[in-house]
């Protein structure tokens, strides 16, 4: 090995001064609370107001997944055109949210809904499950 290259590499990995341990990189540990405090201070500068009475927030992505917030904290600043939603988020498929989310779907979500509707009969959809249930009921009646 070339001694000059080796000395150059050794000088790059030393964090402190002479006599300190060599490390590959300096790791800075950040906590989530520090990031949250920075976010809240930035929102405070924008003069956001809390919006009460929002029970859930659903963000529908292009691939058909839904980011679902249950009882979120919603803050808004209309002058800055900024909305902040904080709380526990869950990523769910559109099919898991289907009965309640139909009223929230827009025209752009209809394509993903059509894809789901096309796949539904192939998977043994609702009608075939009803037919199986009726058949079981008829079998019980025949036994009596």
CATH of residue 114's domain is: 2.20.70.30
Alpha helices by DSSP H, listed for the chain, are 3-12, 32-45, 98-101, 110-122, 126-143
Contact 93, 64 (CB under 8 A): yes
Instruction: Specify whether the CB–CB gap between 34 and 23 falls below 8 A.
Output: no
pLDDT digits (tens, 9 = 90+) for 14-72: 667 777 776 666 677 777 788 888 988 999 999 999 999 999 898 888 777 889 999 99
Asked if residue 2 belongs to a domain, the reply is no
Question: Is position 16 within any domain?
Answer: no
Residue 29 domain flag? no
Task: Tell me if 79 is assigned to some domain.
Answer: yes
pTM above 0.75, yes or no: no
Q: What pLDDT, in 10s, does the model give residues 74-83?
A: 999 999 999 9
Residue 21 domain flag: no
Residues 23 and 46: their CA atoms lie apart, in Å, by: 41
Q: How many domains does the chain have?
A: 1
Is residue 123 pLDDT above 80, yes or no? Answer: no
Domain assignment present for residue 25? The answer is no
36/124 Cα distance (integer angstroms): 46
Continuous H helices in 46-94? none
Highest mean predicted confidence (pLDDT) among 3-7, 22-26, 89-93: 89-93
């Amino acid at each position: 090995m070339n001694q000059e290259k080796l000395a150059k590499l050794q000088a790059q990995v030393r964090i402190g001064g002479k006599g300190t341990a060599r490390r590959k990189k300096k790791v800075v540990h950040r906590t989530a609370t520090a990031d949250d405090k920075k976010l809240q201070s930035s929102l405070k500068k924008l003069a956001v107001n809390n919006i009460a009475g929002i029970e859930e927030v659903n963000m529908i992505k292009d691939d058909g997944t839904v980011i679902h917030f249950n009882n979120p904290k919603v803050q808004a600043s209309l002058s800055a055109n900024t909305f902040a939603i904080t709380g526990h988020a869950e990523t769910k498929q559109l099919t898991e949210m289907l009965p309640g989310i139909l009223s929230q779907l827009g025209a752009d979500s209809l394509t993903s809904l059509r894809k789901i509707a096309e796949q539904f009969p192939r998977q043994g959809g609702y009608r075939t499950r009803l037919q199986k249930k009726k058949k079981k009921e008829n079998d019980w009646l025949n036994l009596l």
